[in-house]
Amino acid sequence: MAEGDDRSSKRRKKDEDVNSSVAFTPREYQIEILEAARRTNTIACLGTGTGKTFIAVMLIREMAHEVRKPYLEGGKRVFFLVPTVPLVTQQAKTISDHTDLRVQGFYGDMDVDSWDKEEWENKFIENEVLVMTAEIFRIIMDHVFIQFPASSF
């Protein structure tokens, strides 16, 4: 087995481990936002309990084939931004539960503001979805640790 195949098989969840059995019935506005996000970068500003996470997970699942490609071979990465540290943990778990992608949360207590480009590049290689506060993302962008074409928001 090739090295990449071995790595892939170790990280992929079995179908029964990915929570896809929960029946979701999307609302019309969720479908409209999902369709818009398929075409272009989209910011969805919705209130609490309106299904933003559902829309995001559906879009991430649709983009999974682009995200699974190794980072050093041009693979995209998903940056999921949230306003608070508790939401980093919650949303990372939700995305992990509903996809077979490698997901990690990032927040200030991890001392990420002192990480250099090499440390961040290792995180981009190791993970396909990076959940973080907007401030952490700002630090990444300020230091040009990633280029926009390799990102999905």
What distance lies between CA 37 and its chain's CA centroid?
Answer: 14
pLDDT of residue 149: 54
pLDDT digits (tens, 9 = 90+) for 52-87: 999 999 999 999 999 999 999 989 999 999 999 999
User: Which pLDDT band, with edges at 50, 70 and 90, does 1 fall under?
Assistant: very low
Structure confidence at residue 132 (pLDDT): 97
pLDDT at 9: 44
- To the nearest 10 degrees (0 to 180), the angle between helices 85-98 and 52-67 is 60
Can you tell me the mean pLDDT for 92-112? 95
| Strand pairing class (151-152; 129-133) | unpaired
Q: Residue 91: is its pLDDT beyond 90?
A: yes
Residue pLDDT, tens place only, 14-58: 444 455 555 678 899 999 999 999 998 888 889 989 999 999 999
DSSP 94-119: HHHHH-SS-EEEE-GGGTGGG--HHH
Residue-level pLDDT at 147: 66
